Chains A and B, each alone.
Chain A
Amino acid sequence: MRSIFFIVTALLVMGMAFWAYRQNYETQASLREAEALRAEISSLREAQSVLRAEWAYLNRPDRLRELADLNFERLGLLPLSPEQFGQADQVAYPPDPIPLLSNAIDTIGTLEPQP
């Protein structure tokens, strides 16, 4: 009885040790991963801020104005003017769809020379 108890205890200790060992290494591995990810995030963030700065630089109004002037022949861009505002009732309704031919007889007609 006593020897079984000793054996079980010994096995339990070994099992616990194995578990603790594994946990330790797993934790360290995830810490390393988190650190790598954090470094990646910060480098991406830096890249993003550079890109945003570049985007803002390339979209600066002076440059866009010059580009619009240079490409006027192709794009025809002019400054927005009050005349370009329209009203909803100035917009034409879409044309009525052409009715489907339901009966061939409908299409029969006589072609007469126009006066």
Chain B
Amino acid sequence: MTRTPLRPLARVLDARARGENPDAIERENLRLRHEDMRDRDRQRAEGRLLVVGVFFFCAFMLVGARMGTLASSEVEEPRAAAGGASIIAQRADITDRNGRILATNLTTHSLYAQPPIMIDKERAARKLALIFPDLDETKLLEQFTGKRKFLWIKRKLSPEQKQAVHDIGDPGLLFGPREMRLYPNGKLASHVLGGASFGREGVHSAEVIGIAGVERAFDAFLRNPENGGRPLRLSLDLSVQSVVEQVLDGGMKLLNAKGAAAILMDAHTGEIISLASLPDFDPNDRQPPPAAGNPADSPLFNRAVQGVYELGSTFKIFTVAQAIETGMVNAATIIDTKGPLRWGRFRIRDFRNYGPELSVEDVIVKSSNIGTARIAQMIGIERQQEFLKSLGFFDPTPVELVEAPGARPLLPPKWSEISMMTISYGHGLSASPLHLATGYASLLNGGVKVTPTLVKREGVEMGDPVVSPRTSAIARDMLRKAVTDGTATFGDVHGYAVAGKTGTADKPNPQGGYYDDKVIATFASVFPADDPKYVLVVTLDEPVETSGEEPRRTAGWTAVPVAAEVIRRVAPLMGLAPSIEQGSLVGVSLTAN
């Protein structure tokens, strides 16, 4: 670039000759030069601005375009994501304590219809009614020809049904995948498992939710994908449960009972090995609860957990154990049993007259109401309440069933002296068989409180002591005597030293009072008596034994033989070898004078 001089000599000389100021020329040139520079700078700046503008435009366009594509494209999981943490099943399996499946999932299909795209509606309705006998052809046709654009026809299809529907060939009949809950063992443990149904439903999938039993109680656990498909392991034993249900069913039919319940519990851990309630139902096809009638008569009703009954003489051992624990009596103390015992306008009688006095042990062995009431009088109301509370008879059982919190024991509104006396032998307080099993386990396992559970436990947690191990052993001895030479002689299973107590309670009449010919027969037992491992409670509702001259309803003739058969069948299954017992002391009598 040629630089123009600010004071060109020629022009300066010219200007001098004309008498002008040559500085004007310099200023003029300087001005021109500055204008020049300014124009150049502006041009360069404009150019740079343009470049920056284009750059930013491109950058924003890029960001915008990316956003646009992200917004409009299909969602896709990142392909390179580390695998392994995939969801295995929508709902975890439920297994028994040995890992055998009690509930699992099966992929199946649901059937829905879109009437606007159906071709031959009459034919489709006719064929569907042929495939599914429970569907009505005219009703289907009505739905197809109505205004509806979408309707569910079947929630679950078997593969054969799906193929048959497919063969109809109507484009308006469509299938959606479904995961359904399958209980492969059918009715087995139905009250524990409860059942499942569909929650929110879409065409492509449906939520499976638990509606009763452990399915409902552990709904959150079973649906939690964090568990990675880990099954819920229950404390039940499939084989034992099956045998218990079979024997109980046989006993119930043989004794013309309306219902039956059995609980087999580990005496130390509180794990429920078997929990049966009859009549039962198939959880694969759970019926809705009955709209009318007594809900307790429905097969859905869990008698072992939900049913609260007066459990009768099985309670006597609690009274006696408490009296022994407090040191008021020992097994040989003589109790006055002259009857009937009058208290105000009430009279307490025994089933039979057992004479004017009995030892505490004989009160249990012969099951004397009067004797137990007398012992309860020694204990007093408050201590009785406290003891029963420590055994869990005041609260619903904490077992993991959704029905359990609803089964609150029925306590007398006012715990008077007479309530105390009747409760001492099991009348006036209603509790579920599970309460009774828990109480027996706590009292007889050495005196440590157990918490009933349906989940397999690892290791034993020590509970609070309820009674001393000595009292527990004395109580077991008494119950053993009740079996060897008392009211429960049918309960003696050779080799397993069963100890237990019968209980026969008249059923309360809804119109007031009690029925004469309807009883709840209960047998609560523990075996083996010398080293208690399991507690078994069998309850029969309205049993009657008709082999004799007149119908017999006492538990000794009804619940006890059933329980004995359960023990005979179940103990070997649990690996309990029979022990060689010492000969019973028949013929050796203590001199009494």
Contact = CB atoms under 8 A, between A and B. Distances in A.
A34 B572 CA distance: 50
User: In this complex, which of B83, B89, B101 has the most chain A Cβ atoms within 10 angstroms of its Cβ?
Assistant: B101
Nearest to B577: A85
B495 interface: yes
Given A49-B89, A50-B107, A85 B578 contact: yes
If over half of A's interface residues share one DSSP class (helix, strand or loop), that class is named, otherwise mixed; here it is helix
B572 A82 contact: yes
A99 interface: no
Contact of B106 (A27, A35, A49, A79): A49
A57 interface: yes
A46 B105 CA distance: 10
Given A45-B88, A81-B572, A53 B104 contact: yes
A42 B90 CA distance: 13
B184 A49 contact: no
Contacts of A42: 86
B53 to A, nearest CB: 31
Interface residues of A, number: 27
Interface stretch (B219-227, B235-243, B413-421): B235-243
A61 B247 CA distance: 13
Interface string B88-115: 1100000000001100111100000000
A52 B94 CA distance: 12
Contacts of B79: 31, 34-35
A62 interface: yes
Given A50-B107, A57-B184, A60-B186, A38 B83 contact: yes
A102 interface: no
B263 interface: no
B182 A53 contact: yes
A85 B106 contact: no
B592 interface: no
Nearest to A30: B80
A56 B182 CA distance: 10
B496 interface: yes
A61 to B, nearest CB: 3
Contact of B578 (A34, A53, A82): A82
Nearest to B102: A56
A83 to B, nearest CB: 8
A84 interface: yes
B569 interface: yes
Interface in B529-575: 568-569, 571-573
A79 B243 contact: yes
Given A45-B88, A56-B104, A85-B578, A79 B184 contact: no
A79 B569 contact: yes
Interface string A25-49: 0010001001100100010011001
A49 B105 contact: yes
Nearest to B105: A49
A29 B238 CA distance: 48
A108 B188 CA distance: 70
B182 A61 contact: no
A92 interface: no
B494 interface: yes
B468 interface: no
A31 B101 CA distance: 36
B572 A53 contact: no
13 contacts: A31-B80, A34-B79, A46-B107, A49-B89, A49-B106, A52-B101, A55-B101, A61-B185, A61-B239, A79-B243, A80-B572, A80-B573, A84-B572
Interface of A: 27, 31, 34-35, 38, 42, 45-46, 49-50, 52-53, 55-57, 59-62, 65, 79-85
Given A49-B89, A61-B239, A85-B577, 11 more contacts: A50-B106, A50-B107, A53-B101, A56-B184, A60-B184, A60-B188, A62-B185, A62-B242, A65-B242, A81-B568, A82-B571
